[in-house]
Amino acid sequence: MSFSEDVSRLLGRLRPSGLLYSTYERRLLAHLDRSRLPQHVAVMADGNRRWARLNAPGETLVAGYEAGAAKLRDFVTWCDEVGLRIVTLWVLSPNNLDRSEEEITPLLGVIVSLVESLADEGIWRVQIVGALDLLPDETAAALRAASARTAHNQGMHINVAVSYAGRHELRDAFRSLLAEEASKGTTLPELAETVEIDMIADHLYTAGQPDPDLIIRTSGEQRLSDFLIWQSAHSEFYFCEALWPDFRRVDFLRALRSFAQRERRFGR
């Protein structure tokens, strides 16, 4: 065998799918402290468009969205494998809807296909969180229908944040709270005197769920960007340089390891 062939074989082993990464993944998994894993992990899957420009320059940006959706599907499986209870996937913000119709229409199609594929597993509970009234009627109806099929599933709970923004969520929560209290005959001065934090939390899109313990953001961005701004008050953050479609299982395990090694103070 020639020297160049030896080098090629070595480089092949260094690829994410090679023996080196497989061994490293197994080692990370074996040494995870299962008693310190998060219950709820949320992900800000950034970098799909940049990935498309770098890896599919002759194609439309939908190639990046499709690659990103496939990785979200992998991510959900990884979370289930380690026994996480709740996963939140942020796939679209209201600001994203301002993009051209040529871009947003196929993106919405990719999102619907992702949600339907998660629902078709028949084991996970899939919940759509976000301002669905901002979406085309056909898209919103398809998302609601897919979610409804999973209502009685007992497996991991998956929130898919579509047309989601934290400020929109708080606005909707206050509207819902005010309407509920008005129906009871509560006056505004009375509500102002009696409103408590738990009353607001009960009207969030994620009402009844524990807040995310860990929020992962990819592509090197290090900001909250109006994501889960109420629920993330005491969340731990993990930032990864990889563009989302390049995010690997080993990156996920590193995030879990980092979380398990932290001392959580919850503001104390």
Known catalytic residues?
A: 46, 96
Report the candidate in 233, 267, 213 with the shortest Cα–Cα distance to residue 43. Answer: 213
State how far the Cα of 94 lies from the Cα of 112, in Å rounded to an integer.
16
At 135, phi and psi to the nearest 5? -90, 160
3-state secondary structure of 247: coil
Residue in the block written with tokens 């996963």: 87
Question: What CA–CA distance (Å, rounded) separates 183 from 17?
Answer: 58
Q: Which two tokens stand for residue 218?
A: 């990819």
Helix 3-14 with 19-30: angle, nearest 10 deg: 30
The β-bridge partners of 89 are: 43, 160
Q: Is the dihedral of CA 236, 251, 82, 86 positive or negative?
A: positive
**CA dist list (Å): 124 to 85, 206, 248:** 10, 16, 22
94 near 131, Cβ under 8 Å? yes
Tokens 């320059």 appear where? Answer: 57
